[in-house]
Amino acid sequence: MTAAEERQDWATKRFGLARYSVLALALGVICAAGSVSADACSIRVGWSPYAIYTFVDADGKLTGADIEILRAVAADIGCEVTFADLPWPRILREIEKGTLDATSSASHTEAREAFAHFSIPYRRAEMAVYVRRGEARNYRLDGLASISKTDFKLGVVKEYYYGSEFEELLKNPDFSAQIDPAVDNQTSIRKLVHGRVDGILAEDVGVILAEARTLGVGDFIERYPLYLPGDEFHMMFSRKSVSEDLVDSVNRSLEEMRLDGRLQDILGRFLK
- One domain, residues 175 and 249: no
- One domain, residues 111 and 135: no
CB 210 within 8 A of CB 189: no
Say how many CA atoms lie within 13 Å of 134 toward its Cβ. 3
Report the distance separating Cα 152 and Cα 205, nearest Å.
Answer: 20
Tell me how many domains the chain contains: 2
Q: Residue 81: what pLDDT?
A: 75
Nearest residue to 53 via CA among 14, 26, 89: 14
Nearest residue to 101 via CA among 111, 91, 86: 91
- One domain, residues 29 and 74: yes
Q: Residue 242: what pLDDT?
A: 85
Say how many CA atoms lie within 13 Å of 160 toward its Cβ. 27
Q: Which amino acid is at 132?
A: R
Cβ partners under 8 Å of residue 127, min gap 6? 162, 163, 201, 202, 203, 204, 205, 228, 229, 230, 231
Q: Residue 154: what pLDDT?
A: 98
Give the domain range for residue 72.
Answer: 18-124+232-269
Q: Residue 40: what pLDDT?
A: 60
Q: How far is CA 15 from CA 7, 223, 231, 239, 250, in A?
A: 12, 20, 14, 30, 21
The neighbour count for residue 194, using CB atoms within 10 Å, is 10
CATH number at residue 56: 3.40.190.10
- One domain, residues 87 and 217: no
With respect to residue 11, please indicate whether it lies within any of the assigned structural domains.
no
- One domain, residues 238 and 260: yes
Q: Residue 5: what pLDDT?
A: 44
Tell me which residues of the chain have a pLDDT lower than 70: 1-40, 272
Instruction: Convert the pLDDT of each residue in 173-198 to its tens digit.
Output: 999 999 999 999 999 999 999 999 99
- One domain, residues 47 and 84: yes
With respect to residue 131, please indicate whether it lies within any of the assigned structural domains.
yes
- One domain, residues 164 and 262: no
Domain boundary among 214, 230, 246: 230
- One domain, residues 221 and 246: no
With respect to residue 186, please indicate whether it lies within any of the assigned structural domains.
yes
With respect to residue 12, please indicate whether it lies within any of the assigned structural domains.
no
Q: Residue 272: what pLDDT?
A: 66
